[in-house]
Structure 1
Amino acid sequence: MTLVLENIVKSFPGVRALNNASLSLNAGEIHALMGENGAGKSTLIKVITGVHTADEGTITLDGRALSLTSPQDAIALGIAVVHQERNLIPHFSIAENILLERLPTKNGFVDFARANQQAKLLLAKVGLDLDPAMSVSRLSVAQMQMVEIAKALNRESKVLLLDEPTASLTDGESETLFRLVRQLRDNGTAILFVSHKLEEVLALCDRITVLRDGQTALAGAPIAQMSRSALIEAMIGRAETPALRRKGVADTGTPRLQAKSLATSFGHENINFSLHRGEILGLYGLVGAGRTELARALLGLGRIRSGELLIDGEAKQARSVKDAIKRLRLGYVSEDRKHEGVILSQSISRNISSTVWDRLANGLGLLRKASEDAIAIPLAEKLAVRTPSVSQLVGNLSGGNQQKVSFAKWLAADVDILIIDEPTVGVDVKAKAYIHEIINGLADDGMSILLISSDMPEMIAIADRLLVMHDFAIQGEIANDRNYDSMSRRIMSAIHTTPIA
């Protein structure tokens, strides 16, 4: 089985997303698809799955020309996709989601006993021991991702497209996924693996295609012949430049943000830390360690049951997100940028100005576009948001540019403290380096940053100090010596020690 796309062209208003892009995918291989955000990867996947129809070019399956006009066309041909943004129905059970198109029936009604039995077998294949009758809304992000893959397995697909499948997975969960993907390859499935993680692509995949500006920059090269530096050069068109070091030094006076023996409604106990002006304080831990929940408690999205939260030495507590912004001057770049970080259906201008709407509104509470643009244009330029205009809908931007918009709105709010949660999940190597520069620049300008990340190299590259969290407790504090080998050993050692008092 061979799926071939040749000279695919796809344009949208104001942008040509694909410009003579080509790809050849064979049975029994794991084929990586890489490129910068905005290079055309997602558009190519949507063409393969019938979400978009190509303006030009051909698609053939085993030499037979295809006309894909809907996702149902692709499913009928044995093409399945697992998107980075999950497509599960939250209030349906796990079994109902997995077997949605093939639910077993008995006497005209759904046979839930048999459905749960079938789903249990599929869950076991992806390493999940869960009750199939459980509502999907109760699952973690990582568990939802694995349920998506189980759903694709149920279709017995000949072609499986995995779009950033490990973005929300722990190392252990990723290894479970890789074992499954290799097994599917060995059984003859053609797998297209989209990822920004160079190391996992080099370790897992057989061949690689790279898109740059909608064109094929590297076509089906054997992974065994590729190096990390060669891949980066193919993606960005030049050699990788090393990350810039911080210019400033954190203030050592009164902490700008300090937690004293905090206990939260999420389950944290005895949380102690301090964050100074101009400092990047890393909060490291694996998925489920309680880092995001701690951030939400600081923002007023959870209750602080006991202990003290000090802002510039004064005891304060956010009553709401609005109160955190206005009174505590505390902002939050969410890990879930598509649902919490930006408003996809609104313009760049409206998103960036969203934190200062009350300041921009006239006496009748109305917003003028000119006022929003006056705030948005210089910030979009400062953060190098790639767009023809700030009137562009954020939903039309690449992931990296959406993240820049999420940063920009907090620059507009002029906060003193910024919590940044998983800033580079799902962004390419070039955008990742630029986001690191943005974070360093904000700290150099005096902003205090609490950086949450499960990307250890990222944390070691830019944090001044690290707090290690596990099971909703702080396990230890580590000064960053920038030596990856020694830091990684110390971090993993801290995760498995007794929490600090």
Structure 2
Amino acid sequence: MGLALESVSKSFPGVKALDGVSLDLKAGEIHALMGENGAGKSTLIKIVTGLIRPDSGRVLLNGRPIQFGSPRDALSEGVSAVHQERNLIPRFSVAENILLERLPVRNGLVDYAAVEREARRYLDLLDPGIDARAEVRTLSVAQMQIVEIAKALSTEAKILLLDEPTASISEHETAALFKLLRKLRDDGVAIVFVSHKLEEVFAIADRITVLRDGKNVAIGAPMAEMTRQTLVSLMIGRAERVAEIAARQVDPSRVVLEARDLSTTRGHKEITFALHHGEILGLYGLVGAGRSELAHAILGDARISGGELLIRGQPVRIRDVHDASTRFRMGYVSEDRKQEGLILTHSITRNVAITIWRRLANVIGLINPRGETRAIAPIVRRLDVRTPSLGQIVGNLSGGNQQKVSIAKWLAARSEILIIDEPTVGIDIKTNTYLHELIGEIAREGASILLISSDMAEMITLADRILIMHGFRLVGEVANDHHYETTSRAIMGCIHAVGDVEPAPAG
């Protein structure tokens, strides 16, 4: 089954998202679709799957023009997608979400045993550790991503469109996904693969189409003829710039955040670590290791059931993120910026200033809008948020600019301890480099950072030390020499050494 787009254009108010874009997808191939945030990739996928309609041009399926009225119409023709925005029902089980459109019925009732059995088939291909009966709202972002992929696979579509499927998952889970995608390709499935991780594209894709500013700059080029330098130049219009992370001095005598034999109601046991002044301390592990859950427990989202949490040497009990910010100068950049990190329907000004409203308010609690703008404007400029005005609605920004706003609000709060969870998930290569340098700069200015990332290259670039988690326990520490080969080998050695330990179940 083949799919083609011919001279497709689509405009939104003030933005031409696609301008005469073409794509030729063949059966039995993995076709990479590349471009920076805002290049038009997600818009193209939404057009193919019937979520939006093009203004002009046409979509052809097996040579015949077609225009789907909805994703359900696309599914009926064998076209399925994993979109950037998660499309799961939080209070439904994992199995129910995977089989939602095709719930098996017996004697007029949903056959839940069959639902779990069928869902299990697809989960086992990606991550056997996810409980098919768990409510989706209890899962980590990475586990939700795997459920989204399993849901798309369960349709057994002949055309599969994957928009950033690996953004939140680790190399281990990515390897399992790639093995499966190669099998699907060999079975004749046509796959569109979108990723900002260039090494993944070179590892998996047969051909590539590149968009820049909503236009084609390459159509169906063989990956074998593409170099990294050429691809980056096509995407951003210039050569790639390597992140420059300046050297820092970490003071081991100044411990700012410490866990002593910490246990939590999320399932953590005997967690002990120390974060020093000016340090970037990495926290790495496979999906389900308990990294983000540990961050949430530190911030009061789960009860600490044993051990101690100390800030600057004093035992503390943090109630929530607001308490962490106001009492302990701690900030949290969530991995789920759309759901937890930002208010998408509010302006940049409101999103950045929300952490300092108490500081800005007068004696009767009112905030002068001009004072609010004066307070946050220098920070927004420093982070180079690309926007026509500070009044721009955050939901209208690109993913990279949204992440800058998410970080800006904690800089405004003058956070001295910053937990950053998946800082560059879904971010293009140019913004990725900028954010890496920014994190290094924040640490050099004296902030202490607990960095959670599933991107091993990112972890090795930024962290001073790397703690390894598995099964909701700390299982090792790696001294980072910033050489990928040696440090990645040490990290995976820690994980493989405890690979037979049963992790805590999701949910």
Q: Give me the TM-score of the superposition, normalised by structure 1.
A: 0.91
From the superposition, tell whether residues 139 and 459 of structure 1 become closer, same or farther in structure 2 (CA, over 3 Å). closer
Tell me, what secondary structure is at the counterpart of 2:357? helix
Distance 1:149 1:306 in 2: 36
Instruction: Report if aligned partners of 2:6, 2:58 keep a CA contact under 8 Å in 1.
Output: yes
* Alpha-carbon offset, residue 308 of structure 1: 3.5
* Alpha-carbon offset, residue 413 of structure 1: 0.8
Listed one character per residue, the Cα deviations across residues 41-83 of structure 1 (whole Å, up to 9, x for unaligned) are: 1111112122222223222223322334433443333221112
From the superposition, tell whether residues 22 and 375 of structure 1 become closer, same or farther in structure 2 (CA, over 3 Å). farther
From the superposition, tell whether residues 287 and 127 of structure 1 become closer, same or farther in structure 2 (CA, over 3 Å). closer
Does 2:183 align with 1:209? no
Q: Spell out the pairing of 1:76-475 with structure 2 (5 A cutoff).
A: 76-106=76-106, 108-112=108-112, 114-123=114-123, 128=128, 135-362=135-362, 365-475=365-475
Which residue of structure 1 lines up, in the alignment, with residue 44 of structure 2? 44
From the superposition, tell whether residues 324 and 98 of structure 1 become closer, same or farther in structure 2 (CA, over 3 Å). closer
* Alpha-carbon offset, residue 394 of structure 1: 1.6
Bigger CA drift: 234-243 or 266-275? Answer: 266-275
Listed one character per residue, the Cα deviations across residues 184-243 of structure 1 (whole Å, up to 9, x for unaligned) are: 222222111111121221111111111112111221111111122222222111111222
* Gap regions ≥5 residues in structure 2: 500-507
Instruction: Report if aligned partners of 2:261, 2:270 keep a CA contact under 8 Å in 1.
Output: yes
Bigger CA drift: 175-184 or 457-466? Answer: 175-184
Distance 2:9 2:403 in 1: 27
Instruction: Report if aligned partners of 2:264, 2:302 keep a CA contact under 8 Å in 1.
Output: yes
How many residue pairs get aligned? The number is 499
Distance 2:294 2:122 in 1: 34
Distance 1:463 1:116 in 2: 40
Which residue of structure 2 lines up, in the alignment, with residue 483 of structure 1? 483
From the superposition, tell whether residues 144 and 227 of structure 1 become closer, same or farther in structure 2 (CA, over 3 Å). same
From the superposition, tell whether residues 3 and 369 of structure 1 become closer, same or farther in structure 2 (CA, over 3 Å). farther
Tell me, what secondary structure is at the counterpart of 1:327? helix
From the superposition, tell whether residues 40 and 369 of structure 1 become closer, same or farther in structure 2 (CA, over 3 Å). farther
Instruction: Report if aligned partners of 1:348, 1:376 keep a CA contact under 8 Å in 2.
Output: no
Distance 1:492 1:6 in 2: 45
Distance 2:79 2:230 in 1: 31
From the superposition, tell whether residues 356 and 65 of structure 1 become closer, same or farther in structure 2 (CA, over 3 Å). same
Distance 1:421 1:131 in 2: 23
Q: Aligned AA for 2:450?
A: L
Identity between Structure 1 and Structure 2 (%): 59
Distance 1:452 1:115 in 2: 34
* Alpha-carbon offset, residue 94 of structure 1: 4.0
From the superposition, tell whether residues 69 and 373 of structure 1 become closer, same or farther in structure 2 (CA, over 3 Å). farther
Listed one character per residue, the Cα deviations across residues 394-428 of structure 1 (whole Å, up to 9, x for unaligned) are: 22222211111110010111111111111112212
Instruction: Report if aligned partners of 1:14, 1:388 keep a CA contact under 8 Å in 2.
Output: no
Does 2:15 align with 1:5? no
From the superposition, tell whether residues 409 and 486 of structure 1 become closer, same or farther in structure 2 (CA, over 3 Å). same
Q: Aligned AA for 1:373?
A: T
Q: Aligned AA for 1:397?
A: L
Tell me, what secondary structure is at the counterpart of 2:395? helix
Distance 2:250 2:125 in 1: 49
Instruction: Report if aligned partners of 2:140, 2:292 keep a CA contact under 8 Å in 1.
Output: no
Tell me, what secondary structure is at the counterpart of 1:9? strand
Distance 2:382 2:302 in 1: 33
Bigger CA drift: 159-168 or 57-66? Answer: 57-66
Tell me, what secondary structure is at the counterpart of 1:173? helix
Listed one character per residue, the Cα deviations across residues 151-205 of structure 1 (whole Å, up to 9, x for unaligned) are: 3344342321111112233433323322322222222221111111212211111
Distance 1:474 1:251 in 2: 23
Listed one character per residue, the Cα deviations across residues 236-260 of structure 1 (whole Å, up to 9, x for unaligned) are: 1111122213243223442222333
From the superposition, tell whether residues 97 and 280 of structure 1 become closer, same or farther in structure 2 (CA, over 3 Å). closer
Distance 1:122 1:475 in 2: 29
Distance 1:362 1:397 in 2: 31
Distance 1:374 1:184 in 2: 54
Distance 2:496 2:111 in 1: 45
Listed one character per residue, the Cα deviations across residues 65-115 of structure 1 (whole Å, up to 9, x for unaligned) are: 233443344333322111233212233344433333333445544444554
Q: Aligned AA for 1:416?
A: E
Tell me, what secondary structure is at the counterpart of 2:254? coil
Instruction: Report if aligned partners of 1:352, 1:375 keep a CA contact under 8 Å in 2.
Output: no
* Alpha-carbon offset, residue 139 of structure 1: 4.6
Q: Aligned AA for 1:398?
A: S
From the superposition, tell whether residues 438 and 46 of structure 1 become closer, same or farther in structure 2 (CA, over 3 Å). same
Instruction: Report if aligned partners of 2:141, 2:336 keep a CA contact under 8 Å in 1.
Output: no
Distance 2:359 2:4 in 1: 54
From the superposition, tell whether residues 385 and 485 of structure 1 become closer, same or farther in structure 2 (CA, over 3 Å). same
Distance 1:51 1:162 in 2: 15
Tell me, what secondary structure is at the counterpart of 1:255? strand
Bigger CA drift: 326-335 or 373-382? Answer: 373-382
Distance 2:483 2:143 in 1: 33
Tell me, what secondary structure is at the counterpart of 2:305? strand
Q: Give me the TM-score of the superposition, normalised by structure 2.
A: 0.90
* Alpha-carbon offset, residue 118 of structure 1: 4.4
Instruction: Report if aligned partners of 2:143, 2:288 keep a CA contact under 8 Å in 1.
Output: no
From the superposition, tell whether residues 207 and 453 of structure 1 become closer, same or farther in structure 2 (CA, over 3 Å). same
Tell me, what secondary structure is at the counterpart of 1:254? strand
Bigger CA drift: 334-343 or 480-489? Answer: 480-489
Distance 1:51 1:290 in 2: 35
Distance 1:284 1:7 in 2: 44
Listed one character per residue, the Cα deviations across residues 298-350 of structure 1 (whole Å, up to 9, x for unaligned) are: 22222333433333333333232212101110111111111111112222221
Q: Aligned AA for 1:396?
A: N
Distance 1:442 1:130 in 2: 36
Distance 1:160 1:331 in 2: 39
Distance 2:361 2:267 in 1: 39
Distance 2:410 2:430 in 1: 22
* Alpha-carbon offset, residue 130 of structure 1: 6.9
Tell me, what secondary structure is at the counterpart of 1:263? strand
* Alpha-carbon offset, residue 8 of structure 1: 2.3
